[in-house]
Amino acid sequence: MVNNFKRDGKWQGHSIRYNLSFNEEYNNGKLINGTSIDPSGNKYNYTVQMIAANYKGGIVNFWQYLAKTLRYPMPSVTAQRQGQLLVKFTIDQTGRPGNYEILVHGDKYMDEEALNAISSAKNWLPAKHYGKLVTSSIIVPIFFCFGKPQHSFGRGVYVII
């Protein structure tokens, strides 16, 4: 049922994306507990519907790791090239990263540096949906620039020379 626009009591549903049926219990809009079942009959208990993949120690540790690891490539410095990159990768159900892809390229040296740094970050916890471990994607913005940026491009890792 719904009270004051909030879920209350027992709810049932199905996740098409992950092919899971679920039963949940709510109190005044807060999920108290849930159980999902896959087609094989495996059960997954949870108190949060969706948990994103996360770097062990937290996402701040991931940003700090990249900030320490990334270096401005000398050929890019010599050519006075700056770049804004977007790097996508997946975290599988075991927490293993892979399937690295550059969505927005810098020059080839920046691309290589970004891929090397991101692929060396191995300490991930997998995502969970309705209690089940699932593969998920992460997109990381990386900015190579000279001097302090005139304005913030947003969240991401800045490599400044």
Confidence (pLDDT) at 147: 80
Pairing outcome for strands 136-145 and 157-160: parallel
**Exposure of 121 in the CB half-sphere (CA atoms within 13 A):** 30
The beta-strand segments (E) located in the chain are 2-3, 6-7, 9-15, 20-27, 30-37, 43-46, 50-51, 54-55, 83-91, 97-104, 124-125, 127-129, 132-134, 136-145, 157-160
Describe the crossing of helices 108-119 and 59-69 by its angle, rounded to 10 degrees: 130
Confidence (pLDDT) at 91: 98
How many residues are listed for the chain in this entry? 161
Q: How many CB atoms lie within 10 A of CB 118?
A: 24
Confidence (pLDDT) at 8: 93
**Domain extents for the chain?**
2-47, 53-126+134-160
Tokens at residue 81, please? 């090239």
Low-confidence ranges of the chain (pLDDT < 50): none
Tokens at residue 129, please? 């949906």
CB-CB contact of 130 with 18 (8 Å): yes
Q: Who's near 108: CB < 8 A, 6+ residues apart?
A: none
Indicate the fold that domain 53-126+134-160 takes in CATH: TolA/TonB C-terminal domain (3.30.2420)
Q: Report the amino acid identity of residue 28.
A: N
